[in-house]
Amino acid sequence: MKKNIAIIMGGFSSEYEISLKSGNVVYQTLNNEKYAAFRIHVFEDKWVYVDDADQEFPVDKNDFSITINQKKITFDCVFNAIHGSPGEDGFMQAYFKLLNIPQTSCNMYQAALTFNKRDCLSVLKPYGIKTAESFYVNLGDEIDANAIVKKVGLPCFVKANKAGSSFGITKVYKLEDMHQAIDVAFKEDDEIIIESFLDGTEVSVGVIKYKGETTVLPITEIVSDNDFFDYKAKYLGESQEITPARISDDMAEKVSKTAKQVYDILKMTGFSRSEYIFKDGEPHLLEVNTVPGLTKASILPQQAAAAGISLTDLFENAIEEALK
């Protein structure tokens, strides 16, 4: 008998359009001989099942069920394709845990921790994971641009602490531009992380649980046509993503080892994709994504393909791992 799979997509953040694309790729790719897939849109004002005719049916949040033609449908597993809140920050993970419904991403704590860049980097530092110099600012704090530059230098990156897809990020070259960059970041979050600029090769490393094993996928080198790997570079083709990365065997081994270490330290499950920049030959961690993009242009599917894992296998494995 086919298993009922709810593919959740949408979300409450600026990333909802990308999430809908990711969710639709999963919907189109899943093996329909094994799974009955249902597209579930999760927005602040509505949770609905959307059928192939784009008709909407409300989700009963009491048990995460839907009713179609007076027939109640429940789900064996949830495929999480929500980037940002509430799919990547722990809320949906906690909700499904309470309902005892398996889901494909990591657990609640890991999602909340990795979504908070400042907290995640702070937890990993004692394990010897290298990171950029950083300065923290919260909404309402007095901004001392001179103190910031003294700690992190110029140029630097001003980032929203809890946001993805490079929303709320500015590269700052001049002291006088700091306040404007901070205002941009505060539009996405009430916490900011300001980091030193690491001048080196940027790579993205996918780590997944595949057939029960922590598996590091082939590494992708990021060469942005823009000043950094921003939204346009990520989603509008304004970058080169080269898999496998053009780095030495020694560098590849170092970053693969570090990425696997991070996955295991945090007791991760499901998909993850982390970004690193090499400085003085050592990988420095920028961030960890636990619901990475799954569109045709996204990095994790490219890496899986380079490892000989098809999209169908990648998504099926995620479901089967969750059901264990």
3-state secondary structure of 142: coil
Catalytically annotated residues = 15, 165, 298
Reported as type and span, the H/E element at residue 252 is helix 249-265
Annotated binding site for Mg(2+): 287, 289
User: How far is Cα 160 from Cα 154, in angstroms, rounded to an integer?
Assistant: 18
Closest C-alpha among 182, 121, 119 to residue 149: 182
Alpha-helical segments (H) within the chain: 16-29, 91-99, 108-115, 117-124, 145-152, 178-186, 231-235, 249-265, 299-306, 311-323
Sign of the Cα pseudo-torsion (247, 265, 106, 87, in order): negative
Residue stretches of the annotated binding site: 287, 289
Q: Rounded to whole angstroms, how far apart are CA atoms 315 and 158?
A: 34
Contact 219, 205 (CB under 8 A): yes
Q: What are the residues facing 8 on neighbouring strands?
A: 40, 80
Contact 205, 277 (CB under 8 A): no
Tokens 């309402």 found at:
140
Distance (Å, rounded) from C-alpha 87 to C-alpha 139? 24
